[in-house]
C-alpha cells in the first residue's frame, strides 16, 4: 500500500520539473515532453487523492486521463511534425508571428 | 356537377394554369405559355355558366321546394336565413384554422346570385383579355415579349384571386382575396419593372391601397368584436335583427363605424376620392392588365363588397349618404379631368373612376341592384375600350398620345368600330348597355332623398359623352397622321380583334338582361328592372325593405307603376345629353379644331386645374409624401448617428481594452507559460491564505 503523501510529493515534483522544462527550452519536442511530464505529475496527484479518500475513483479518472493524454500526444506530435516541415526547424521562436 | 364541385373548380382551374405556367413556363412552354392559362380561365367560365343555370333554375322553382333542395346540402340551417334565404349556399371547403367552436376560420365559399353575377362578369372579361394578351404581348413578328410566361402566370393568379374574393363566404376570406388581387395588381402594374415609372406606379398603387385596406381590416375586426363571427350570413342576420353577439341591441354609431371602415377599403380598391391617385398611374402596366384589373374587375371589388354588405350599409343612413356623396364627387371630378387629358389610357382611367363613382352613387342611394347592373355592363364596354386603346398603342409602336396621331379609322377598321360601339355605350347612347344601367342609377338617385346626386350624375353623363367622343374624333377621325417612326398603321391580328368584337357585342347587348319588355316604357318597349334585378333580388331584399323586394321579386318594373312618367323624361333627357355631348365633341374636334384651344385659353386657370388633375398628386406630395420622407430621413439619421453611435461606443470599449492588452502577447510561448505559472502560484497562495 503506497503512501498517498509520497505519491503527491512525487506528483508535485514531476509537475515542477515539467514547468521548469517548459519554461527553459525552445525545442518544441522537448516542450511537448515537458507538458507530458506535467501531466503525469497531475495524474500522480489524482491517484494520491484517491488513496487519501479510500476509493478508486481517483485511479479510474487517472486511467481516463492517461488514454486522453495518449490521444492528445499523437495529435500534438503530428502538429509538431507539420510545423517542422514548414520551417525546417523545431525552434518555437520561429512561430512568434502567430501572436494575436 | 354539384354546386360545391363547381364552386371549388372555378378558382382552382385558373390557379392550376397559373401555377403550371409559373413552374414550367420559362423552361418548357415559353411563347406557348398562354394555352394553360387560357384553358383554365375558359373552363372556369364554363363552370360559372353552369353554376348560373343551376341557381337560376332553383330561383325559378322558388318557394319551399328550393329551400328543401338547398337545405339538403347546405351548411347553414335554412331557417336561420332571414330574407336572403333560399338562394344562398355556403360550403366549407377546408378547415383553415381549426379554432374549436369558432368555425368562421374556415375556407367557406358562398354561392348566391350576387356571387354568380360577379363570377360571370369577371370570368367572361378575363377570358377575352387572356385571349387578347396572346396577340398583345408580342412584337410585330409574333415573337413573345420578355416575361411572356410571367405575364400569363400573374394573369391566372389574378383570376384565381378575384374568384376567391367573390366566392368568399366570410369576411376573412374576403380579406384574403382582397389582398391577393392587390398583390396581383402590384405585380402586373410593375410588369415592366425595368421602367422606373412602372415600378413607381406599382409601389404607389400598393401603398395607396394599403391605406384603404387598413380601414377595411379594422372594419373586419370591429365586425368580429361586435358579432363574434365573421360569417356573412350570421353577421347579416344579426344586423337585420339589430342585435349584437351578446343579445345587446346594436347601436347606430357602431354600425356606422363598421360601414365606414369597410367603405375605406372600397375607396382604396375602387379608387374613389380621396384615394383615387393610384389608378391613373396604374396605366403604366400592360394594356390588357389595365383592361382587366383596372377597369373591369378588380376596381369593382369595392362596389361588390358594399353590395355584399348592403345590409350593413343600409342600416346606417350616414354611411349611405357618404357613399353616395363620394361616388357622385368622384364621378364629376374624374370626368372633368378626363376632358383635358391626351393620353388615351389615362382618359379611360379617369373615365373608369367616373363610372365607379356612378356605381357608388347608386349604392349610396340604395339602388344596389342598379349599381351591380352598371358594374356588369361597364365591365364589357370599358374592357373593350381599353383593349381598343391597346390595339392602337400596338399599331403606333407604343405611342398613346392622341395629339400625335389621327385618322386611324381607315387603317384599323375593326378597332375603330369596336371602339366606337363601346364609346357609344359609355356615352350612354340609347339602346346600348350603359344607357340602361346608368339611367337606373340616376333615376334611383333622383327618386331618393338626395336628388342632387342624380343631377350630378346627369352633368357627368354629358361630360362622359363629350370626353369619350373627343378621344374618338381625335384618334380615329380627320386626316391620317402617324407618329414618327411608324410607317403605316395596321390592324391587329385575330387574337386581338376577336376579343374586341366579342366585347363590343357585350357592350351592345349586355344591358338587355336588365330590362323587361312590354310595360310601355321608353320607346314603348323597354322597362328597367328586368331579369338581372329579378335574379339579384334575394341578395338585396333585406337592405331594400319589403315593398321593393316584392316588386323586384315579382319582376314588376317599378318604373311602370310608381314613377313611370318620371322615368320617361329622364330617359329623354339623358339620351339628349349623350347626343348633345357627342355632337359637341364632333363639332369641336372635326369641324372647328380651334374652339378647344380657345376655350382652354379663355378658361385659363380652370383648364389648368383640370389638366393638372386638380393638383391632387402635388397636394399629396406636399402634405403626405414629403413630410413622411422627411420623417424617414430623420429616422434614418437617428438610426445612423444615435443608435449606430451608441453601438460604436459599446464596441469601442473592448477594442480599447484589447489595444491595451495586446502588448502582452509577444508570441513567445515561454512568456505565456510563465504567465500561467505565476497565475497558478497566485491562486494557490490565495487559496492557502484563506484556508
User: CB of B156 within 8 A of CB of B415?
Assistant: no
Distances (CA, A) of B156 to A44, B144, B280: 80, 18, 23
B667 with A98: Cβ contact below 8 A: yes
B669 with A19: Cβ contact below 8 A: no
Q: Which of residues 6-65 of A touch B (CB under 8 A)?
A: 19, 22-24, 26, 31
Contact residues on chain B for A92, CB-CB shorter than 8 A? 668-670
- Give kind and range of the element (H or E) at residue B570: helix B564-586
Mind telling me how many Å the CA of B680 is from chain A's nearest CA?
Answer: 11
pLDDT at B241: 83
* Chain B touched by A85 (CB under 8 Å): no
Q: What share of chain A is helix, strand, coil (3-state, %, to 5)?
A: 85, 0, 15
Mind telling me how many Å the CA of B646 is from chain A's nearest CA?
Answer: 27
* Chain A touched by B684 (CB under 8 Å): no
B668 with A98: Cβ contact below 8 A: no
B677 with A23: Cβ contact below 8 A: yes
* Chain A touched by B657 (CB under 8 Å): no
Considering only CB atoms, A22 lies closest to which of B666, B668, B673, namely B673
- Give kind and range of the element (H or E) at residue B583: helix B564-586
* Chain B touched by A93 (CB under 8 Å): yes
* Chain A touched by B669 (CB under 8 Å): yes
Measure the N-to-C terminal CA separation of chain A; round to a whole number of Å.
49
A96 with B668: Cβ contact below 8 A: yes
B665 with A99: Cβ contact below 8 A: yes
Residue of B nearest to A22 (CA): B670
Q: What is the DSSP string of B305-355?
A: HHHHTHHHHHT-HHHHHHHHHHHHHHHHHHHHHHTT--BHHHHHHHHHHHH
pLDDT at B45: 92
What nine digits make up the cell of B28?
A: 418548357
Which of B667, B674, B684 to mutate to probe the A interface, most A CBs <10 Å? Answer: B667
* Chain A touched by B668 (CB under 8 Å): yes
Helices (H) and strands (E) in chain B, counts: 30, 4
Which of A15, A23, A28, A98 to mutate to probe the B interface, most B CBs <10 Å? Answer: A23
| Sign of the torsion formed by the C-alpha atoms of A5, A8, A12 and A17 | positive
Residue of B nearest to A16 (CA): B677
B667 with A96: Cβ contact below 8 A: yes
Domains of chain A plus CATH, in order, are 4-98 (1.10.287.3510)
Show Cβ contacts of residue B136 under 8 Å, excluding neighbours closer than 6 positions: B286, B287, B288, B390, B391, B394, B495, B496
Residue of A nearest to B673 (CA): A23
Contact residues on chain B for A99, CB-CB shorter than 8 A? 665-667
Low-confidence ranges of chain A (pLDDT < 50): none
What nine digits make up the cell of B117?
A: 353575377
Distance CA A45, CA A63 (A): 13
* Chain A touched by B662 (CB under 8 Å): yes
A31 with B666: Cβ contact below 8 A: no
- Helix, strand, or coil (residue B93): strand
Q: Which of residues 264-283 of B touch A (CB under 8 A)?
A: none
Distance CA B31, CA B25 (A): 8
B666 with A96: Cβ contact below 8 A: yes
B667 with A23: Cβ contact below 8 A: no
Distances (CA, A) of B393 to B134, B144, B192, B398: 15, 17, 16, 5
Whether the complex's predicted ipTM is more than 0.90 is answered with no
Considering only CB atoms, A31 lies closest to which of B667, B669, B674, namely B669
Distance CA B474, CA B389 (A): 13
Distance CA B178, CA B220 (A): 12
Closest CA to B263 of B315, B196, B323, B203: B323
Mind telling me how many Å the CA of A46 is from chain B's nearest CA?
Answer: 17
- Peptide linkage before B274 cis (omega within 30 of 0): yes
pLDDT at B64: 43
- Helix, strand, or coil (residue A96): helix
B667 with A31: Cβ contact below 8 A: no
- Residue B549 CA, distance from chain mean position: 28
Mind telling me how many Å the CA of A96 is from chain B's nearest CA?
Answer: 4
User: CB of B53 within 8 A of CB of B1?
Assistant: no
Contact residues on chain B for A17, CB-CB shorter than 8 A? none
Which of A16, A18, A22, A35 to mutate to probe the B interface, most B CBs <10 Å? Answer: A22
Contact residues on chain B for A19, CB-CB shorter than 8 A? 673, 677
Mind telling me how many Å the CA of B26 is from chain A's nearest CA?
Answer: 53
Mind telling me how many Å the CA of B667 is from chain A's nearest CA?
Answer: 4
Q: State the 10-residue block means of pLDDT for chain B, 691 residues long.
A: 84 91 79 87 92 82 47 40 56 74 74 89 93 86 82 92 91 92 92 91 92 93 88 86 76 90 92 89 90 89 92 90 93 91 91 93 88 91 92 85 85 90 90 85 86 90 92 87 78 86 88 67 55 78 53 41 55 87 88 80 82 86 90 94 92 91 76 87 93 78
Contact residues on chain A for B667, CB-CB shorter than 8 A? 95-99
- The full length of chain A comes to 100
Residue B176 CB coordination number (10 Å) = 17
A23 with B674: Cβ contact below 8 A: yes
Backbone angles phi, psi at B409, to 5 degrees: -55, -45
Considering only CB atoms, B666 lies closest to which of A23, A92, A99, namely A99
pLDDT at B567: 56
Helices (H) and strands (E) in chain A, counts: 3, 0
Contact residues on chain A for B666, CB-CB shorter than 8 A? 96, 99
Mind telling me how many Å the CA of B686 is from chain A's nearest CA?
Answer: 18
Residue B530, burial from CB neighbour count under 10 angstroms (0-12, 13-18, 19+): buried
B666 with A22: Cβ contact below 8 A: no
B667 with A19: Cβ contact below 8 A: no
Total beta-carbon pairs less than 8 A apart between chain A and chain B: 27
Amino acid at each position: 500500500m503506497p503512501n498517498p503523501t509520497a505519491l503527491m510529493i512525487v506528483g508535485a515534483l514531476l509537475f515542477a520539473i515539467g514547468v521548469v522544462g517548459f519554461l527553459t527550452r525552445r525545442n518544441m519536442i522537448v516542450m511537448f515532453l515537458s507538458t507530458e511530464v506535467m501531466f503525469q505529475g497531475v495524474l500522480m496527484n489524482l491517484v494520491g487523492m484517491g488513496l487519501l479518500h479510500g476509493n478508486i475513483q481517483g485511479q479510474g479518472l487517472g486511467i481516463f486521463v492517461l488514454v486522453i493524454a495518449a490521444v492528445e500526444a499523437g495529435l500534438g506530435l503530428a502538429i509538431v511534425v507539420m510545423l517542422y516541415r514548414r520551417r525546417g526547424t523545431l525552434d518555437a521562436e520561429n512561430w512568434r508571428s502567430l501572436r494575436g | 356537377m354539384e354546386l360545391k364541385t363547381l364552386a371549388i373548380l372555378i378558382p382552382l382551374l385558373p390557379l392550376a394554369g397559373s401555377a403550371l405556367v409559373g413552374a414550367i413556363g420559362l423552361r418548357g412552354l415559353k411563347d406557348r405559355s398562354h394555352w394553360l392559362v387560357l384553358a383554365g380561365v375558359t373552363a372556369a367560365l364554363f363552370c360559372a355558366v353552369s353554376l348560373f343555370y343551376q341557381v337560376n333554375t332553383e330561383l325559378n322553382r322558388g318557394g319551399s321546394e328550393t329551400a328543401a333542395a338547398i337545405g339538403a346540402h347546405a351548411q347553414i340551417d335554412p331557417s336561420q336565413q332571414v330574407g336572403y334565404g333560399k338562394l344562398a349556399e355556403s360550403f366549407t371547403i377546408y378547415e383553415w384554422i381549426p379554432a374549436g367552436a369558432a368555425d368562421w376560420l374556415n375556407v367557406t365559399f358562398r354561392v348566391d346570385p350576387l356571387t354568380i353575377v360577379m363570377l360571370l362578369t369577371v370570368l367572361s372579361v378575363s377570358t377575352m383579355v387572356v385571349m387578347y394578351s396572346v396577340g398583345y404581348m408580342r412584337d410585330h413578328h409574333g415573337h413573345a415579349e420578355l416575361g411572356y410566361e410571367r405575364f400569363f402566370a400573374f394573369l391566372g393568379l389574378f383570376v384565381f384571386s378575384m374568384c376567391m374574393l367573390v366566392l368568399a363566404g366570410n369576411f376573412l376570406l374576403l380579406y384574403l382575396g382582397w389582398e391577393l388581387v392587390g398583390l396581383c395588381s402590384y405585380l402586373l402594374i410593375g410588369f415592366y419593372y425595368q421602367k422606373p415609372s412602372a415600378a413607381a406606379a406599382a409601389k404607389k398603387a400598393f401603398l395607396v391601397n394599403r391605406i384603404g385596406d387598413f380601414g377595411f381590416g379594422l372594419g373586419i375586426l370591429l365586425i368580429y368584436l361586435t358579432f363574434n363571427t365573421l360569417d356573412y350570413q350570421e353577421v347579416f342576420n344579426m344586423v337585420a335583427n339589430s342585435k349584437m353577439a351578446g343579445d345587446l341591441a346594436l347601436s347606430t354609431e357602431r354600425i356606422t363605424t363598421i360601414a365606414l371602415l369597410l367603405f375605406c377599403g372600397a375607396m382604396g380598391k375602387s379608387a374613389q376620392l380621396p384615394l383615387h391617385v393610384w389608378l391613373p398611374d396604374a396605366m403604366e402596366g400592360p394594356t390588357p392588365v389595365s383592361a382587366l384589373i383596372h377597369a373591369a374587375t378588380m376596381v369593382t371589388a369595392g362596389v361588390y363588397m358594399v353590395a355584399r354588405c348592403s345590409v350593413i350599409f343600409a342600416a346606417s343612413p350616414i354611411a349611405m349618404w357618404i357613399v353616395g356623396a363620394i361616388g357622385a364627387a368622384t364621378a364629376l371630378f374624374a370626368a372633368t379631368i378626363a376632358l383635358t387629358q391626351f393620353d388615351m389610357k389615362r382618359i379611360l382611367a379617369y373615365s373608369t373612376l367616373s363610372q365607379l363613382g356612378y356605381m357608388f352613387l347608386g349604392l349610396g342611394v340604395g339602388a344596389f341592384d342598379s349599381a351591380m347592373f352598371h358594374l356588369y355592363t361597364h365591365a364589357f364596354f370599358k374592357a373593350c375600350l381599353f383593349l381598343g386603346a391597346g390595339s392602337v398603342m400596338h399599331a403606333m409602336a407604343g405611342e398613346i398620345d392622341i395629339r400625335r396621331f389621327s385618322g386611324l379609322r381607315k387603317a384599323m377598321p375593326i378597332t375603330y368600330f369596336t371602339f366606337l360601339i363601346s364609346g357609344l355605350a359609355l356615352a350612354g347612347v340609347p339602346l346600348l348597355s350603359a344607357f340602361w344601367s346608368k339611367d337606373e342609377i340616376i333615376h334611383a338617385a333622383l327618386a331618393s332623398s338626395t336628388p342632387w346626386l342624380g343631377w350630378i350624375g346627369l352633368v357627368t353623363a354629358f361630360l362622359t359623352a363629350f370626353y369619350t367622343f373627343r378621344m374618338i374624333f381625335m384618334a380615329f377621325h380627320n386626316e391620317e397622321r402617324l407618329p414618327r417612326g411608324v410607317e403605316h398603321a395596321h390592324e391587329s391580328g385575330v387574337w386581338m380583334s376577336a376579343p374586341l368584337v366579342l366585347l363590343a357585342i357585350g357592350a351592345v347587348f349586355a344591358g338587355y338582361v336588365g330590362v323587361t319588355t312590354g310595360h310601355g316604357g321608353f320607346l314603348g318597349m323597354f322597362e328597367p328592372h328586368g331579369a338581372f334585378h329579378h335574379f339579384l333580388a334575394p341578395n338585396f331584399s333585406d337592405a331594400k325593405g319589403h315593398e321593393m323586394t316584392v316588386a323586384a321579386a315579382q319582376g314588376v318594373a317599378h318604373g311602370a307603376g310608381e314613377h313611370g312618367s318620371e322615368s320617361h323624361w329622364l330617359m329623354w333627357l339623358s339620351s339628349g345629353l349623350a347626343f348633345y355631348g357627342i355632337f359637341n365633341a364632333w363639332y369641336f374636334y372635326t369641324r372647328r379644331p380651334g374652339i378647344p384651344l380657345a376655350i382652354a385659353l379663355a378658361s385659363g386657370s380652370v383648364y389648368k386645374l383640370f389638366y393638372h388633375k386638380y393638383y391632387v398628386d402635388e397636394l399629396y406630395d406636399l402634405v403626405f409624401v414629403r413630410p413622411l420622407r422627411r420623417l424617414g430621413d430623420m429616422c434614418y439619421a437617428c438610426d445612423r448617428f444615435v443608435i449606430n453611435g451608441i453601438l460604436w461606443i459599446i464596441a469601442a470599449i473592448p477594442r480599447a481594452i484589447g489595444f491595451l492588452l495586446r502588448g502582452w502577447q509577444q508570441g513567445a510561448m515561454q512568456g505565456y507559460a510563465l504567465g500561467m505559472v505565476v497565475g497558478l502560484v497566485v491562486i494557490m497562495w490565495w487559496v492557502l491564505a484563506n484556508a
